[in-house]
């Protein structure tokens, strides 16, 4: 399954799972990145990391190694 | 004491806690409610700021307690635990909480309701404020406020805090909520969760054998490796971790996984709650904020804008603060001469002029830089750019083991470390914040510049290379300005490997919607920071200045100097001498004053310490005079120039471009006739000043920000040791290379 860090800018996807039960996973869930939510890749920082996303109507920045925790399913254009 | 509140006209005081996500306009609402009069302090043992304001509403007085912005009420650190303790009424210096004021961003209501959902678990009377209601309306999001209020079971008040719209409604809502019973809502989690929680609750006891609040037990069960578990372990709960593991195991079997289940359950409930209450436009249109964001986070245009913004911020604290600082210095001189003209020379006069006026001056001298930096930071924060700056710089800073949020505090420190240290408050992670704070004083601040300019001007030859494009003096200045930042990299690395060892914190950061900053918010924040510096760090800086004055004045015999000074002032009062004999006499007296000044400082405690430490500074190539200069500069490094002026009998009124001082230093000799200064000595002094913590202001600000004495002491010790070793290496390598 693809993870969130692999998506190109502009891509929309549905969150399938958040891996792990540690502090990082809990923080992602608290910020509303839960199963079934739709998420969009807005863009990348100049050195390719971190990545900006749109979820639940707001914008959030995640580092690639955090985005990797989320497995996603592309929604297509 | 507890009289029944039968009559509404009876005066009473209630305590209200204000909580909300970051970027919701929480401090704007606090100021709109409580005005400018808020008492600011610290909670014991943590870095959390305690801010309590007073709000009048009819016969009721509200104590409004501002809690730090947070996304979740699941404490992971002692700092986060403070908010929970306050809300539960367990913080003795705050007392019982009568109502909770929860603020949410109306344009981002879904995620904001997560915290609201946790707050409602506390079972306290709660009012929900939907701030930035205008932004939500602009986005064509419709919120059915009465329906939301009815479903949540609490009053909901829409506001636009930056325009003071809805503030009176908030006041009224709090007062009536505090008089009503706490809301009850149907249980959110599966029945088994509450059964496990009740079971745990029967077995657990607090530190004094008291029963533990239900909220803490629930959090104990929900937060794997959370702070509450550590807290109970410290209190001494036997077999707690096994009991918890078994309880969580049973919950998982029943279909509720800990810790991931909490967010899923709450967000699902929020979705249900908002159905029919929140109506979005069918297709989300690209807003102006989206288009600005595209430009400002773009690889090319984003970086260009960032560099431009940083340039303006840096210029402002470096250059624009100059005129204000020279006014302060001029003002200081005026006050000093006014005092001198009304007092005979003596210890009291010197205490007033050199100690008190100098001390007050050294406090307010930093104000222009602090206020200017915080004006910019407040603008950048309030318009939403601050998070983008951190986004752009994160990769770069993560190579140092920090995050993008450390960039602006560290860059500001190149102008002045005091506002730099204060700016670390934007860093939520304690480890990153501490490391940033402790390396910030290594950045080459503007107060080091005069020291470099004096020594480079006096000892570095004006050789140029590549035509006349590159000068040796310029290269040395560049090297001195960067040595601190270069050294900071291994220092940060070492700190993260030793005293601040912990797992890399997640860098999950909200990028808030852009908005036009509110002038009132910006001015208020700059005023608050300036005031906090003067009232809380200023007193300590002042005290340090008095101590150093004392050490430089006593125990020498000042009688002859006082006589000479009285004579000079008497002659000056009668106007400029016209007669050449009188002018020559005045000149002779001036020289006598400077010679005596030099002798007296050598006889003072400071001079004695300088002599005593000479063996320690000799390997650096220094003599006792430089030692005295270095010691006298511990309150503020720029003092070295005035001290050297006094020591070399030129008076304290010299600056870094003073040719007389440069000549005296070039010609200074030791008792064996060899020159005191040469290039390696000059470099050794500059390296020492580049790395040493010679700034009481910064150290006192670190004390204030960390709320512990250990951190300024640690900073002082590590930087002084580093400075000594580096100066030693510079001199020893320098003389061997010739």
**Average pLDDT score over chain B:** 86
B449-459 helix and B679-691 helix, angle to the nearest 10 degrees: 170
Domain chopping of chain B, boundaries: 12-179, 191-255, 556-597
What single-letter DSSP state applies at residue A5? G
CATH of domain B12-179: 3.40.50.300
Separation of alpha carbons B73 and B296, rounded Å: 32
In 3D space, the residue among B418, B409, B396, B428 whose CA is nearest the CA of residue B313 turns out to be B409
Burial pattern B609-625, b for ≥16 Cβ within 10 A else e, equals bbeebbeebeebbbbbb
pLDDT category at B1 given cuts 50, 70, 90 is: very low
What single-letter DSSP state applies at residue A21? S
pLDDT category at B3 given cuts 50, 70, 90 is: very low
B111 touching chain A per CB within 8 A: yes
Separation of alpha carbons B640 and B618, rounded Å: 18
In B456-521 the beta strands, taken as DSSP E runs, fall at 464-465, 470-471, 509-511
Asked if the model's pLDDT at residue B66 lies above 50, the reply is: yes
Name the minimum distance, in Å, from the CA of B260 to any CA of chain A: 6
What are the DSSP calls for B301-330, one per residue?
A: HHHHHHHHHHHHHHHIIIIIHHHHHHHHHH
Q: What is the pTM of this model?
A: 0.84
Which tokens in the block code for residue B149?
């209020």
Residues 6+ apart with CB under 8 A from B255: B190
Determine the residue of chain A that is closest to B267 in CA distance: A32
pLDDT category at B26 given cuts 50, 70, 90 is: very high
Mean pLDDT of A36-44: 94
Which residues of chain B does A34 touch, with a Cβ-Cβ cutoff of 8 Å? 263-264, 267
Higher pLDDT, B466 or B10: B466
Which tokens in the block code for residue B165?
């719209």
Name the minimum distance, in Å, from the CA of B269 to any CA of chain A: 12
Put simply, the answer to whether A46 touches B260 (Cβ < 8 Å) is no
B472-497 helix and B430-439 helix, angle to the nearest 10 degrees: 150
Burial pattern B468-503, b for ≥16 Cβ within 10 A else e, equals eeebebeebbeebbebbbebbeebbeebbeeebeee
Classified as helix, coil or strand, B60 is strand
Asked if the model's pLDDT at residue B568 lies above 90, the reply is: no
For strands A70-74 and A2-3, give the pairing. Answer: antiparallel
B43 close to B91: Cβ distance less than 8 angstroms: yes
Angle at alpha carbon of residue B150, lines to B144 and B151, rounded to 5°:
90
Asked if the model's pLDDT at residue B218 lies above 80, the reply is: yes
Put simply, the answer to whether A28 touches B507 (Cβ < 8 Å) is no
pLDDT of residue B564: 76
Burial pattern B166-189, b for ≥16 Cβ within 10 A else e, equals bbeebbebbbebbeeeeeeeeeeb
Separation of alpha carbons B484 and B589, rounded Å: 43
pLDDT category at B284 given cuts 50, 70, 90 is: low
Asked if the model's pLDDT at residue B469 lies above 80, the reply is: no
B731 close to B683: Cβ distance less than 8 angstroms: yes
Domain chopping of chain A, boundaries: 2-74
Separation of alpha carbons B469 and A55, rounded Å: 53
ipTM score over 0.90, yes or no: yes
Put simply, the answer to whether B510 touches A34 (Cβ < 8 Å) is no
CATH of domain A2-74: 2.30.30.90
End-to-end CA distance of chain B: 83
């Amino acid at each position: 399954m693809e993870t969130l860090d692999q998506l190109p800018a502009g891509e929309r996807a549905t969150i399938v799972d958040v891996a792990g039960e540690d502090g990082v996973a809990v923080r992602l869930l608290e910020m509303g990145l839960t199963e079934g939510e739709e998420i969009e890749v807005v863009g990348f920082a100049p050195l390719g990391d971190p990545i900006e996303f749109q979820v639940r109507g707001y914008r959030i920045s995640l580092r690639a190694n955090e985005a990797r925790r989320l497995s996603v399913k592309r929604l297509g254009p | 004491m507890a009289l029944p509140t039968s009559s509404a006209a009876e005066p009473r005081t209630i305590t209200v806690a204000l909580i909300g996500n970051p970027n919701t306009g929480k401090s704007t609402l606090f100021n709109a409610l409580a005005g400018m009069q808020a008492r600011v302090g610290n909670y014991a043992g943590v870095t959390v700021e305690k801010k309590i304001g007073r709000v009048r509403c009819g016969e009721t007085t509200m104590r409004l307690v501002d809690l730090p912005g947070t996304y979740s009420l699941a404490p992971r650190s002692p700092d986060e635990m403070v908010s929970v303790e306050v809300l539960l009424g367990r913080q003795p210096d705050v007392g019982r909480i009568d109502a909770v004021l929860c603020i949410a961003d109306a344009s981002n209501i879904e995620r904001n309701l997560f915290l609201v959902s946790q707050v409602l678990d506390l079972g306290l009377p709660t009012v929900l404020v939907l701030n930035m209601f205008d932004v939500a309306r602009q986005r064509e999001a419709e919120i059915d406020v009465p329906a939301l209020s009815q479903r949540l079971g609490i009053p909901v008040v829409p506001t636009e805090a930056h325009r003071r719209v809805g503030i009176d409604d908030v006041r009224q809502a709090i007062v009536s909520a505090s008089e009503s019973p706490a809301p009850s809502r149907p249980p959110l989690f599966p029945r088994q969760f509450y059964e496990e929680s009740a079971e745990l609750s029967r077995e657990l006891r607090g530190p004094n054998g008291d029963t533990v609040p239900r909220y803490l037990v629930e959090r104990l069960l929900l937060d794997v490796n959370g702070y509450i578990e550590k807290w109970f372990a410290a209190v001494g709960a036997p077999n707690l971790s096994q009991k918890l593991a078994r309880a969580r195991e049973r919950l998982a079997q029943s279909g509720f996984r800990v810790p991931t289940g909490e967010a899923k359950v709450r967000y699902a409930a929020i979705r249900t709650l908002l159905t029919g209450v929140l109506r979005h436009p069918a297709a989300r249109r690209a807003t102006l904020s989206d288009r600005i964001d595209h430009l400002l986070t773009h690889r090319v245009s984003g970086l260009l804008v960032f560099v431009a913004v940083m340039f303006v911020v840096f210029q402002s604290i470096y250059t624009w603060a100059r005129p204000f600082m020279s006014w302060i210095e001029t003002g200081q001189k005026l006050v000093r001469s006014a005092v001198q003209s009304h007092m005979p020379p003596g210890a009291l006069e010197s205490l007033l002029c050199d100690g008190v006026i100098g001390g007050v001056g050294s406090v307010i001298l930093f104000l222009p830089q602090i206020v200017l930096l915080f004006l910019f930071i407040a603008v950048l924060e309030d318009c939403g750019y601050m998070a983008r700056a951190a986004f752009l710089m994160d990769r770069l800073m993560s190579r140092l083991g920090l995050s993008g949020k450390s960039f602006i505090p560290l860059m500001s420190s190149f102008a002045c470390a005091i506002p730099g240290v204060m700016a670390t408050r934007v860093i939520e992670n304690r480890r990153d914040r501490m490391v940033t704070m402790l390396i910030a004083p290594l950045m080459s601040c503007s107060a080091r510049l005069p020291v470099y300019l004096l020594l480079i001007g006096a000892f570095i030859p004006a050789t140029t290379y590549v035509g006349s494009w590159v000068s040796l003096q310029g290269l040395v200045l560049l090297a001195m300005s960067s040595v601190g930042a270069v050294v900071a990299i291994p220092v940060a690395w070492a700190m993260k490997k030793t005293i601040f060892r912990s797992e890399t914190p997640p860098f999950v950061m909200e990028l808030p919607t852009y908005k036009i900053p509110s002038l009132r918010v910006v001015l208020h924040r700059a005023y608050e920071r300036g005031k906090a510096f003067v009232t809380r760090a200023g007193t300590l800086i002042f005290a340090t200045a008095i101590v150093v004055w004392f050490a430089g004045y006593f125990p020498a015999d000042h009688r002859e100097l006082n006589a000479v000074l009285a004579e000079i002032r008497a002659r000056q009062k009668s106007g400029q001498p016209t007669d050449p004999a009188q002018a020559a006499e005045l000149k002779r007296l001036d020289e006598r004053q400077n010679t005596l000044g030099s002798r007296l400082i050598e006889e003072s405690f400071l001079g004695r310490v300088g002599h005593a430490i000479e063996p320690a500074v000799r390997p650096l190539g220094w003599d006792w005079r430089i030692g005295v200069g270095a010691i006298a500069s511990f309150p503020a490094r720029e003092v070295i120039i005035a001290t050297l002026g006094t020591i070399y009998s030129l008076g304290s009124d010299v600056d870094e471009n003073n040719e007389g001082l440069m000549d005296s230093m070039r010609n200074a000799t030791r008792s064996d006739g060899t020159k005191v200064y040469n290039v390696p000595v000059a470099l050794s002094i500059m390296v020492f000043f580049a790395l040493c913590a010679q700034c009481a202001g910064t150290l006192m600000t670190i004390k204030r920000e960390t709320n512990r004495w250990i951190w300024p002491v640690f900073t002082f010790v590590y930087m002084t040791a580093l400075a000594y070793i580096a100066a030693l290496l510079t001199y020893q390598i320098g003389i061997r290379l010739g």
